[in-house]
């Protein structure tokens, strides 16, 4: 008998189904069926669909709080570019969440609190990272400390809602859309990039685009 990570299987299956059809159209039973497990086994791991959503959001937080933090310790153009790319790519992977965030947090106080706590911590981390980018000569100093926070919040709101904006338009969401999102975040920060950072970002940029458009990407 092969040991299976049933919890992981349930989360991955739910994620795919939520992304494809929307949370309200997917029941716990549907997820169990797609996993090829019994309702009882499903219930053993997750009591409700809501619990799966909480677990998926916890994965988002773990991902951001884990390796990402190492990046923000290194204030270089490369790490800045990779942070933007990684953020958009993650939003793409968990797109059901960013698409339905308002209603999901309305339905769960626990999720709502997790989302707020994560956002507060992360926005402050990114702001500090941007201060470090100013120190290291990647960004020119904005008008004020407040300005820097505004730019971070602008990019945050943009990232969270970019796929929704595209989806409304009826355009297909694909890797090209993430690339355009990346271009737009760069546009936002472009006036603050120093000359050398502009050259460097143009190079890392080509690499990121090539990476996103490679056929093995989702």
Applying CB under 8 A, does 172 fall inside the site for its own copies? no
CA 26 distance to own-chain centroid: 22
Q: Which of 1, 168, 195, 215 binds its own copies (CB under 8 A)?
A: 168
Region binding its own copies by CB under 8 A among candidate stretches 43-51, 74-82, 165-173, 205-213: 165-173
Residues 6+ apart with CB under 8 A from 14: 26, 31, 49, 52, 53, 56
Residue nearer to its own copies on the CB measure, 61 or 105: 105
Residues 6+ apart with CB under 8 A from 117: none
Instruction: Name all contacts of 193-196 with Cβ < 8 Å and 24+ positions apart.
Output: 193/138, 193/139, 193/140, 194/137, 194/138, 194/139, 194/140, 196/137
Q: Which of 30, 34, 76, 158 binds its own copies (CB under 8 A)?
A: 158
Strand (E) or helix (H) holding 208: helix 195-212
Quote the least distance from Cβ 65 to its own copies, whole Å.
19
The site that binds its own copies (CB under 8 A) totals a number of residues, namely 34
Applying CB under 8 A, does 61 fall inside the site for its own copies? no
Hey, which residues between 85 and 144 contact its own copies (CB under 8 A)?
A: 99-103, 105, 112, 115-116, 119, 143
Residue nearer to its own copies on the CB measure, 100 or 200: 100
Applying CB under 8 A, does 183 fall inside the site for its own copies? yes
Q: With beta carbons less than 8 A apart as the criterion, state whether 138 and 197 touch.
A: yes
- Within 10 A of 120 (CB to CB), how many other CB atoms are there? 10
Q: With beta carbons less than 8 A apart as the criterion, state whether 32 and 38 touch.
A: yes
Region binding its own copies by CB under 8 A among candidate stretches 10-18, 72-80, 129-137, 166-174: 166-174
Residues that bind its own copies (CB under 8 A): 99-103, 105, 112, 115-116, 119, 143, 147, 150-151, 153-154, 156-158, 160-162, 164-165, 168-170, 183-184, 187-188, 190-192
């Amino acid at each position: 008998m092969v040991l299976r990570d049933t919890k992981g299987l349930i989360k991955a299956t739910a994620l795919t189904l939520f992304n494809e059809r929307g949370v309200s159209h997917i029941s716990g039973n549907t997820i169990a069926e797609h996993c090829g497990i019994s309702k009882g086994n499903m219930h053993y791991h997750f009591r409700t669909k809501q619990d799966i959503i909480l677990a998926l959001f916890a994965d988002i937080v773990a991902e951001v709080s884990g390796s990402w933090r190492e990046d923000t310790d290194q204030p270089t153009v490369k790490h800045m570019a990779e942070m933007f790319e990684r953020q958009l790519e993650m939003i793409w992977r968990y797109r059901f969440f960013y698409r339905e965030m308002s209603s999901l947090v309305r339905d769960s106080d626990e999720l709502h609190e997790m989302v707020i706590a994560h956002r507060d911590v992360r926005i402050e981390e990114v702001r500090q990272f941007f201060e470090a980018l100013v120190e290291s000569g990647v960004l020119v100093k904005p008008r004020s400390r407040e300005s820097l926070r505004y730019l971070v919040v602008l990019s945050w709101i943009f990232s969270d809602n970019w796929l929704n904006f595209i989806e409304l338009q009826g355009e297909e969401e694909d890797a090209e859309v993430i690339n355009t999102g990346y271009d737009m975040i760069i546009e936002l920060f472009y006036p603050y990039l120093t000359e050398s950072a502009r050259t460097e970002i143009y190079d890392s940029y080509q690499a990121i685009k090539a990476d996103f458009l490679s056929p093995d990407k989702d």
